[in-house]
Amino acid sequence: MKKELLDILACPQCKGKITLDDDQQALRCPACQLIYAIRDGIPIMIIEEAKPFSTEQPA
């Protein structure tokens, strides 16, 4: 995803800054702790389709 696009996108729930999660091919909102999928290069920024993420490391 282009940095220019990432700079203008915001979390649809809290309007906060999002980050790119290359490992999961997704956008991450640290404030809401939600992950928005990227499908075929298109970010799916629908709150109902977002998945929660955990900051805990797997054991």
pLDDT tens by residue, 1-59: 788 888 999 999 999 999 998 787 899 999 999 999 999 989 999 999 999 987 655 55
Domains identified in the chain, total number: 1
User: Residue 17: its pLDDT value, please?
Assistant: 96
Query: Is 57 inside a domain boundary?
Result: no
- Residue 48 falls inside a structural domain: yes
In a domain, 17, yes or no: yes
> Quick check: helix, strand or coil at residue 6?
helix
Q: Tokens 């993420």 belong to which residue?
A: 53
In a domain, 36, yes or no: yes
Instruction: Read off the CATH number of the domain in which 29 is found.
Output: 2.20.25.10
Between the alpha carbon of residue 53 and those of residues 3, 4, 29, 37, the distances in Å are 22, 25, 9, 12
Flag whether 59 is in a domain. Answer: no
Q: Where are the alpha helices (DSSP H) in 1-59?
A: 3-8
Look at residue 32 and give its three-state secondary structure. coil
Helix, strand, coil shares of the chain, percent, nearest 5, are 15, 30, 55
